[in-house]
Amino acid sequence: GNSVTQMEGPVTLSEEAFLTINCTYTATGYPSLFWYVQYPGEGLQLLLKATKADDKGSNKGFEATYRKETTSFHLEKGSVQVSDSAVYFCALTASGGSYIPTFGRGTSLIVHP
Amino acid sequence: DVKVTQSSRYLVKRTGEKVFLECVQDMDHENMFWYRQDPGLGLRLIYFSYDVKMKEKGDIPEGYSVSREKKERFSLILESASTNQTSMYLCASSSQGATGANVLTFGAGSRLTVL
């Protein structure tokens, strides 16, 4: 079956540090890949997505590139802010008509001033 | 602004009570989902609906049921609440767009405590 593996958190950084959150996946075919973010006290919201190999999704300074050869979709940001403190979820939806996404367990990011 | 609205942000119920969690979306989405979120376990799918009156079991349906009588509304029902159902419940919806490109829109969540 499909699966998503994320690095365990929490990830603790100082403001303006570089962020990487690793995500690897297992799926047949060509899944679409997503990063969702959950700010404290809120539901999840889409951060970025990529639908085919070598696509780069980007939003709010975050980027992730769909790497089919390494089955990865790592999230990066060059300079984090305190307001980026949240839980980040990597997810995929499989090709072939499935509407049900598979989520990773989430990675908590804490950014200190 | 498009929205998924969950009727209650915080609920406290007693063991054995029947609990209804309501979710309404205004995006004309075909698909609706109920997840529970627990520390260390991430999101776990309880039930999924792809059309009115249609439902599919997710990974952890035991102890739950759902109702979808109208396209915009998806209700989660705990027939007899138990303490192990204390959790954050998240509703989401998505359209049946291009295969594999569906984006979920989530509600703010309902935190249920069962005493």
State the average pLDDT for chain A: 94
**Any A CB within 8 A of B39 CB:** no
Q: CB–CB of B50/B30 below 8 Å?
A: yes
pLDDT at A30: 86
CA distance A49 to B61: 29
pLDDT at B102: 79
CA distance B55 to B66: 8
State the average pLDDT for chain B: 92
pLDDT at B98: 59
Q: Six-digit token pair at B67?
A: 């109702």
- Give B47-91 pLDDT, tens digit per residue: 999 999 999 999 999 999 999 999 999 999 999 999 999 999 999
Which residues numbered 5-24 in B keep a CB inside 8 Å of some CB on A? none
Smallest CA–CA distance from B47 into chain A, residue: A100
| Interface touch A32/B109, C-beta < 8 Å | no
Q: CB–CB of B104/A46 below 8 Å?
A: yes
CA distance B31 to chain A (A): 8
The sign of the dihedral angle between the CA atoms of A16, B103, B35, A73 is negative
Determine the residue type at A75: L
pLDDT for residue B105 is more than 90:
yes
Three-state DSSP class for residue A113: coil
pLDDT at A8: 85
CA distance A49 to A31: 11
